[in-house]
Chains A and B, each alone.
Chain A
């Protein structure tokens, strides 16, 4: 072991004991943010699960050529980003270039 060791066996043991004590305490707040949801017997189907499907037939609309060219791109982000306030303001969120 290097003499630069900043965490001694003693402090490690102390942290370990404290952690185990914390875990033995109900409703421990040590975990940082408490995640939503607890274990369930069969789980909860995740929103965001890709589902393979047979017969996902669609109409023939909207199958036109994808002609992406950055200069003629006509879409602008128009979701909740307009309400997310960043240090650079709302709406135009470009970071300030230095």
Chain B
């Protein structure tokens, strides 16, 4: 049984305000738009006017980047209240956050930071997801991270860790295929094996993004999750693998930095849509 995602199983785009005029003028069909929750936590003005338009004409995913749900510290209740207010106002088809932390000791780090996968951190994050879902009054999706280091303390595989969080809380998962590729390359594991281990039946959304490659201390390849370039073919191949197994899923093109113009960005979504269509057709044929 699939996680009941309310988003359509088609391609969406991460909304960038600079594209608003082009989007509003063309009103082309698109699976959904996704926005970062924290950019819409001001009181009013253009951000809300634009989000209101998107809400009216498209399916909407709200993606939090600052709840710090993976922290060992208590969740920020004020932030949870802001998220609740945003979800109540815009009624998104999906709300998602990250398996990561970003605040500690009252300081906000504005980055998605890694955590060790231990029994203790598992208990803590399960409590946080429970708290968040209760506060929001809805089920959420939790996203697998891209990481650059790992922890000697870790005792649970990431896929098992996510599976257990979902089992304990009832949350769904957001599978970022680029993050799988990046982490696999950074930590020397097989991305396809990770996908094979991943509980695909719990996935409510897929993320696709670009990254770049540099080298680490030992001169070994190090991939950086930069969201500033097209999705590479190797990541698209992994994506094909996922949707061949799981069937078409809501799939987001995330291009946050140096985003191209709207036609080019939409073109990336069309590429993903073509692959979703092909996977859907193949499944229909094999079922027949």
Query: Nearest-CB distance from B98 to chain A (Å)?
Result: 7
Q: A56 in the interface, Cβ–Cβ < 8 Å?
A: yes
Cross-chain contact A57 with B46 (CB below 8 angstroms): no
Query: Nearest-CB distance from B204 to chain A (Å)?
Result: 17
Counting chain B residues whose Cβ lies within 8 A of the other chain, the interface size class is: 20 to 34
SS of B interface (majority): mixed
Query: Nearest-CB distance from A59 to chain B (Å)?
Result: 6
**In the complex, A71→B17 CA distance in Å?**
42
Q: B136 in the interface, Cβ–Cβ < 8 Å?
A: no
Cross-chain contact A60 with B214 (CB below 8 angstroms): yes
Nearest B-chain residue to A51, judged by Cβ: B39
Q: B131 in the interface, Cβ–Cβ < 8 Å?
A: no
Report chain B residues within 8 Å CB of A96.
none
Against B, the Cβ 8 Å flags (1 = close, 0 = not) of A39-57 are: 0011111100101111111
Cross-chain contact B17 with A49 (CB below 8 angstroms): yes
Nearest A-chain residue to B63, judged by Cβ: A54
Most buried by B among A45, A49, A55: A55
Cross-chain contact B18 with A45 (CB below 8 angstroms): yes
Q: A42-B20, A42-B24, A45-B20 are in contact. Are A55 and B49 (CB under 8 A)?
A: no
Cross-chain contact B38 with A52 (CB below 8 angstroms): yes
**In the complex, A52→B46 CA distance in Å?**
16
Against B, the Cβ 8 Å flags (1 = close, 0 = not) of A48-91 are: 01011111111110000000000000000000000000000000
Q: Which residues of B contact A (CB under 8 A)?
A: 17-18, 20, 24, 36, 38-39, 45-47, 49-50, 53, 63, 65-66, 98, 110-112, 146, 209, 211, 214, 222, 224-227, 254, 256-257
Top 8 A-B pairs, shortest CB-CB distance? A43-B46, A45-B17, A53-B256, A52-B38, A57-B224, A55-B227, A57-B226, A55-B225
